[in-house]
Amino acid sequence: MPSPDDQSGPIWISYDETVDSASRVGPLAGRRLAVKDNIDVAGFGTTAACPAFRYEPERSAIVVERLQGAGMQVVGKTNLDQFACGLVGTRSPYGPVPNPFDAAYVSGGSSSGSAVAVGRGLVDAALGTDTAGSGRIPAGFNNIVGMKPSRGLISTRGLIPACRHLDCVSIFAPTVADAVDVFAAAVGFDIEDPHSRALPLDLRPMPASFRFGIPDPAHLTFFDDALSAAAFDEALARLAAFGGAQGDFDFAPMAEVAQALYEGAWVAERYTAIRAFFDTHADAMEPTVRAIVANGQHYSAADLFEAIDAVARARKQAALLWDRFDLLVVPTAPTMYRIDELLADPIALNRNLGTYTNFVNLLDMAAIAIPSSMRPDGLPFGITLIGPAGSDLRLAEFAQRYHHASGLTVGATGRALPPPRPLARPPSSDATVRVVVVGAHLSGLPLNGQLLERGARLEARVTTAAHYRFYALPGTVPPKPGLIRVAEDGMPIEAEVWTLPIEHYGSFVALIPSPLGIGSIELSDGSRVQGFLCEATAVSGAEDISRHGGWRAYLAALH
């Protein structure tokens, strides 16, 4: 179990001393998860690295619920650049998060604490967020993997937005296979997230002879960092040895559109995200973050529409790259800075770090940051593989081959990389069945394992329409409820929707004992999903527990 005292620097904002991963079930059972503190976790306060902003969420973010449903256990919330506004890991009242390889250097941001927790081996994986590179730069600076999914694949419901239209939940892990395990459990369409989308995933392997693009020489900069430039040349030689044919692409349009994130109209969305708090508590914010967010007040709607048009044009141009290349390859960051350098010049140096990351979400691309080498000064160097939206697993398959050929150890732990292994795949949307459960199959209850062992994933916690009565069925082991649809005097009942691979649906249904069966259940939003119903005759004489509103509340009332 990790401890707040077994590392230097302010990694944790809050921490759970009572972790007991052994009690978990599911495909990710026993794995420890850290969560960036702009993502809600029930039982932990959310601060976004601003104590005056703190609130206590009633429920976890959807991504956290899905990973907990797969067996992971949250051990703590991690430090970040305040309101996810920065790429450096120094913009927090809890203190800068030092690099595990050299404490004088930054650890990258904004997901600094999450990346360091993985790099030091304190957790098995961590969630970050990525708007401009916050899920990639910290990976590069900590010698770990940072997976930035295509926008909308992982729900951002329960995330404090930075730029809501661009935000992604990112994944930090020691290896590509570990990151994909988390990705596969987290992916899923969320009807309540307006930016969620069911995006087809490209499962083709990278061809033996592939084409990769790098920024043209006029724009390939390392800001006079000769060690990073040499490390990128080494990476290009390794890619060529893998069968890659290198070509250049015009980086100018990407650099131009990227400026809008911090120096154009898109920064207005950062102000919008925390407008009510900013307008009343701006003095409680970190000065650099406050200045950036304040700048978002000065743009007009006309400015924003011009920026949207510019991004749309850039996306059209960028889409043409996939006719020439199978993937793009860039340095994850052009250089590394010391903490004192960043504190002395926080805006310009932050901009430099985002040179090869800022454009990716704007242009609707997938990316994965992977370790590449150790520089002669003992600092890590990483590269990022970029592909079109939906290429997440294709990039990951190649990223694993590259990472394991690097000869590097895991993060800052000194442990050897484990052998590569087949990558997990999320259930495809056309090969799954949605199932509503209301009783012993709810997450954490006795029969939930029947879903988890079949690869089911928690999609959402919901309530039924107000057309049902709920009964405690006598003599059932383990205790089970019965849900009955009624013509009048019905009530809404708490439920969960699970997504089950269709090949396992038959074996799951075969486990359902009489008097329960599968029928169509109406949810509060009017949709209908298959789920557990009970034969009406079976509730004769059974206790009506509808007043409790759900099985968990009824069980709690018994104690």
What is the total residue count of the chain? 559
Q: What is the pLDDT of residue 4?
A: 52
Residue 297 maps to a domain: yes
Residues 396 and 436 both lie in one domain:
no
* CATH code of the domain covering residue 469: 3.10.490.10
**pLDDT category of residue 36 using cuts at 50, 70 and 90:** very high
pLDDT at residue 417 greater than cutoff 50? yes
Confidence of residue 505 (pLDDT cuts 50, 70, 90): confident
Residues 164 and 289 in one domain: yes
Res 430: pLDDT: 54
Which residues make beta-bridge pairs with 382?
371
Number of domains in the chain: 2
Residue 105 has pLDDT above 50, yes or no: yes
Q: How sure is the predictor about 422, in pLDDT bands with cuts at 50, 70 and 90?
A: very high
Residue 170: pLDDT over 80: yes
Residue range 255-283, pLDDT digits in tens: 998 887 878 898 999 999 999 999 999 99
Give the lowest-confidence range in 387-391, 405-409, 522-526, 531-535. Answer: 522-526
- Calculate what percentage of the chain has a pLDDT beyond 70: 96
Q: For residue 6, is pLDDT > 50? A: no
Q: Which residues are catalytic?
A: 36, 110, 134
Domain contains 476? yes
In a domain, 6, yes or no: no
Check whether 182 has a pLDDT greater than 90. yes
How far is the C-alpha of 112 from the C-alpha of 142, rounded, in Å?
9
For residue 443, whether the previous peptide bond is cis, meaning omega lies within 30 degrees of 0, is no
Calpha distance 302→312 (Å, rounded): 15
Confidence of residue 8 (pLDDT cuts 50, 70, 90): very low
Q: From CA 460, how far away is CA 454, in angstroms rounded?
A: 18
Instruction: Assess whether 395 and 450 both reside in one domain.
Output: no
Q: Please identify, among 357, 390, 414, the residue that sits at the C-terminal boundary of a domain.
A: 414
**Would you say residue 99 lies in a domain?**
yes
**Is the same domain home to 461 and 349?**
no
**Does residue 392 sit within a domain?**
yes
pLDDT value for 155: 94
Rounded (5°) CA angle 220-141-376: 75
13-27, 37-51, 103-117, 168-182: range with lowest mean pLDDT: 13-27
| Within-domain flag for 423 | no
Tell me how far CA of residue 510 lies from CA of 208, 410, 506, 535, in angstroms. Answer: 45, 44, 6, 17
**pLDDT of 76 strictly over 80:** yes
- pLDDT tens across 196-214, in order? 987 888 988 899 999 999 9
Band the pLDDT of 1: cuts 50, 70, 90.
very low
Mean pLDDT of 30-35: 96
Q: How confident is the model at residue 225 (pLDDT cuts 50, 70, 90)?
A: very high
**Are residues 342 and 455 located together in one domain of the fold?**
no
Q: Is the pLDDT of residue 454 over 90?
A: no
Find the mean pLDDT for residues 50-78. Answer: 94
Pairing mode of beta strands 327-331, 210-215:
parallel
**Torsion sign across C-alpha atoms 404, 409, 415, 416:** positive
- For the cut 90, the answer to whether the pLDDT of residue 480 exceeds it is yes
* Residue, of 365 and 453, whose pLDDT is higher: 365
pTM: 0.81
In this structure, is residue 133 part of a structural domain? Answer: yes
Same-domain status, 273 and 238: yes
Domain's final residue, options 414, 444, 477: 414
* Residue 373 confidence class, pLDDT cut points 50, 70, 90: very high
Please, what is the end-to-end C-alpha distance for the chain in angstroms?
31
| pLDDT tens, residue by residue, 507-557 | 999 999 999 999 889 999 888 888 999 999 999 999 999 999 999 999 999
Whether 219 and 313 map to the same domain: the answer is yes
pLDDT digits (tens, 9 = 90+) for 334-364: 999 999 999 999 999 999 999 999 999 999 9
User: Is 286 found in the same domain as 193?
Assistant: yes
**Predicted local distance difference test score (pLDDT) of residue 500:** 86
Query: Taking 80 as the threshold, does the pLDDT of residue 146 lie above it?
Result: yes
Mean pLDDT, rounded, of the chain: 93
Q: Is residue 3 over pLDDT 60?
A: no
Residue 3 lies in a domain: no
**292 in the same domain as 167:** yes
For the cut 90, the answer to whether the pLDDT of residue 188 exceeds it is: no
Q: What pLDDT is recorded for position 527?
A: 84
Q: Which domain holds residue 543?
A: 429-557
Average pLDDT over residues 6-25: 70
DSSP code of 517? E
**Is the separation of the CB atoms in 93 and 82 below 8 Å?**
yes
| CA distance linking residue 554 with residue 102, whole number of Å | 53
